[in-house]
Amino acid sequence: MKTFKMLSFDLINEQGGVNIPIVDGIVINQENSRKSWILELFLSKEHQSTFEKLKDSDELFEVHVIISFPDNEPAPFQVKVSDIQAIGEKITVLLKGMIKTRRSKYAEALLHSLLSENLSSDELMARFKKGMRERPRLKES
């Protein structure tokens, strides 16, 4: 097993990502034949209902996590809520799932999308950097 520090956590939906501030978190690569991962979040109780709904649905959902270093690109995971526990005024949420394979052509698709917007050079560069960092969903062309 390998364990990594979680720095940032985003729930992904049709509109994009919703950042959920974490107090602390870890990501564990179980390095097993199923290629499964465990994500543990320590966060404010104000987010408990969100995770309770996800747990009750028993469906996979997508999250993006920045691991180890702030400049790392977000790692995409498909996960389910496995457990939620209250710890004082905070909760711990245990997610289990798999890392998603990145689309290898994301940078090209993002650039193509931005070029159609007739941006200035500086705007194009800023939006490209932001897009590579945040990885918004791109419209299928």
**pLDDT tens readout for residues 75-122:** 899 999 999 999 999 999 999 999 987 555 677 888 888 998 999 999
Task: Indicate if 83 and 132 belong to the same structural domain.
Answer: no
Q: pLDDT (tens digit, 9 = 90+) per residue, 8-24?
A: 999 998 777 899 999 99
Task: Indicate if 59 and 120 belong to the same structural domain.
Answer: no
Q: pLDDT (tens digit, 9 = 90+) per residue, 120-137?
A: 999 999 998 888 877 777
Query: Domain containing 15: what range?
Result: 2-99
Between 55 and 35, the more confident residue is 55
Task: Indicate if 45 and 84 belong to the same structural domain.
Answer: yes
Task: Indicate if 39 and 85 belong to the same structural domain.
Answer: yes
Say which DSSP state 58 is in: T
Q: Name the pLDDT band for 71 (thresholds 50, 70, 90).
A: confident
The four Cα atoms 47, 53, 56, 60 give a dihedral, to 10 degrees, of -90
